[in-house]
């Protein structure tokens, strides 16, 4: 049978981090700790209440949830935004798809700086948007001057910046984000009209802060720039630090004009009553849900120092990218697949991702991290 696939989908594979049944899962940057029992009980009660109204469509504009998310951001980052500056969807993946649906499209370009999140080119493909990636430096930072020149050359309508970046863990300094936002404001998107004063529409800048809660002391959030840049959207998620990957709830903060554009492209009632109730119950227990984040940050820092002291199969010290996230990118291995497989054989699943020779491991519980360390030591010995 032949199906009429869009030509650009020919040979494409679905997103595929392996989901394997092994004892130690350190492959998709989840919080290894389950939600605490008192939050589980609250969720169960609130979902039961929502179930009594399941014959009705949910609140399409979910303003109560947006208010809760704004309250959380104010606490987390000290930045005040109004509920109508918030947006949410089924994971920040859907939030970013909404951004591309609203601001990408045929004849337009989205860009980022690689290595970065593997889903970005897929949002572009799925919205018929051209995709281009500039390169990050050898240490995975973004050179601001080179980024500005690239933006001026390409004239994109959407710029995606992950900070902390996945899979490298690299956070961008605010000065770099500012330089990119300034360059974005000067972009002339080919089919977007200028305003009455002749000012071009400019490009939308998306800072994907999926891992922001894990950032090291002194690393600021791009939320602090929202007041200066109406084209800036800062995306967050409840999937990582917030210990709710199974919920599928991502969100962003931006200007109300930008949020209003996303309301146009979303599907009607895209956030179910059950998801809204669950997210609100979890947000009512922010401290409990985020209780392990400081532990995980400390574990991350000690895992990085441990890795930096290890000798690889080729006799050199392992390298580890500086990380503000709950994972570390380490290497380099002449045969990274053999290392990944050796760990899997010992019950430890990590991710084979990033530039050649590198591997990514998520921060788990102390027991999980111990098992990872012992297994890695074994595997390196075996391969040396």
Ligand X SMILES: *Cc1c(COP(=O)(O)O)cnc(C)c1O
Tell me the C-alpha distance between 238 and 282, whole Å.
Answer: 9
Of residues 121, 113, 72, the one with CA closest to residue 96:
121
Instruction: Give me the residue whose beta carbon is nearest to ligand X.
Output: 91
Residue from 101, 163, 237, 375 in contact with ligand X (CB under 6 A):
237
Give how many residues touch ligand X by CB under 6 A: 14
Choices 130-138, 147-155, 232-240, 294-302 (CB under 6 A): range interacting with ligand X: 232-240
CB 281 within 8 A of CB 348: no
Choices 37-45, 86-94, 224-232, 310-318 (CB under 6 A): range interacting with ligand X: 86-94
Count Cα neighbours of 219 within 13 Å in the Cβ-side half-sphere: 19
| Neighbour-count burial of 65, counting CB atoms closer than 10 A to its CB (0-12 exposed, 13-18 middle, 19+ buried) | buried
User: Between 113 and 152, how does the x/- string for binding to ligand X read (CB under 6 A)?
Assistant: ----x-----------------------------------
Residue from 27, 42, 85, 92 in contact with ligand X (CB under 6 A):
92
Tell me the C-alpha distance between 359 and 343, whole Å.
Answer: 11
**Is 243 an interacting residue with respect to ligand X (CB under 6 A)?**
no
Shortest Cβ distance from residue 307 to ligand X (Å)?
20
| Neighbour-count burial of 47, counting CB atoms closer than 10 A to its CB (0-12 exposed, 13-18 middle, 19+ buried) | middle
**Is 169 an interacting residue with respect to ligand X (CB under 6 A)?**
no
Choices 46-54, 100-108, 187-195, 239-247 (CB under 6 A): range interacting with ligand X: 239-247
Looking only at the bridges linking them, the beta strands covering 158-162 and 24-25 are unpaired
**Is 32 an interacting residue with respect to ligand X (CB under 6 A)?**
no
Q: Which residues contact 182 (CB under 8 A, 6 or more apart)?
A: 148
Which residues are at the interface with ligand X (CB under 6 A)? Answer: 29, 91-93, 117, 162, 166, 208, 210, 237, 239-240, 245, 250
């Amino acid at each position: 049978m032949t199906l009429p696939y869009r030509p650009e989908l020919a040979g494409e594979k679905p997103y595929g981090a392996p989901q394997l049944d092994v004892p130690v899962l350190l492959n998709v940057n989840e919080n290894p700790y389950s939600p605490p029992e008192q939050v589980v009980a609250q969720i169960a009660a609130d979902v039961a209440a929502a179930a009594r109204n399941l014959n009705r469509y949910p609140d399409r504009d979910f303003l109560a949830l947006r208010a809760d998310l704004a309250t959380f951001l104010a606490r987390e980052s000290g930045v005040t935004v109004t509920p109508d500056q918030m947006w949410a969807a089924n994971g920040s993946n859907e939030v970013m798809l909404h951004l591309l649906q609203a601001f990408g499209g045929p004849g337009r370009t989205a860009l980022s700086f690689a290595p970065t999140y593997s889903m970005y080119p897929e949002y572009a493909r799925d919205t018929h948007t051209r995709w281009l990636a500039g390169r990050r430096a050898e240490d995975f930072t973004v050179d601001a001057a080179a980024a500005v020149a690239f933006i001026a050359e390409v004239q994109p309508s959407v710029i995606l910046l992950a900070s902390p970046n996945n899979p490298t863990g690299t956070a961008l300094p605010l000065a770099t984000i500012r330089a990119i936002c300034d360059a974005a404001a000067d972009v002339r998107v080919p089919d977007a009209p200028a305003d009455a004063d002749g000012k071009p529409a400019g490009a939308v800048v998306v800072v994907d802060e999926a891992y922001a809660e894990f950032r090291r002391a002194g690393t600021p959030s791009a939320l602090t720039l929202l007041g200066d840049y109406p084209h800036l959207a800062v995306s967050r998620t409840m999937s990582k630090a917030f210990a709710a990957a199974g919920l599928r709830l991502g969100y962003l903060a931006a200007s109300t004009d930008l949020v209003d554009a996303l309301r146009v492209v979303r599907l009607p009632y895209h956030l179910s009553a059950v998801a809204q109730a669950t997210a609100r119950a979890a947000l009512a227990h922010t401290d409990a849900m985020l209780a392990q984040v400081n532990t995980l940050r400390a574990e991350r820092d000690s895992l990085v120092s441990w890795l930096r002291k290890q000798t690889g199969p080729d006799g050199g010290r392992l390298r580890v990218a500086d990380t503000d996230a709950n994972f570390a990118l380490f290497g380099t291995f002449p045969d990274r697949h053999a290392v990944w497989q050796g760990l899997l054989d010992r019950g430890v699943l990590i991710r084979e991702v990033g530039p050649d020779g590198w591997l990514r491991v998520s921060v788990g519980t102390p027991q999980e991290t111990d098992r990872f360390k012992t297994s890695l030591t074994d595997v390196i010995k075996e391969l040396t």
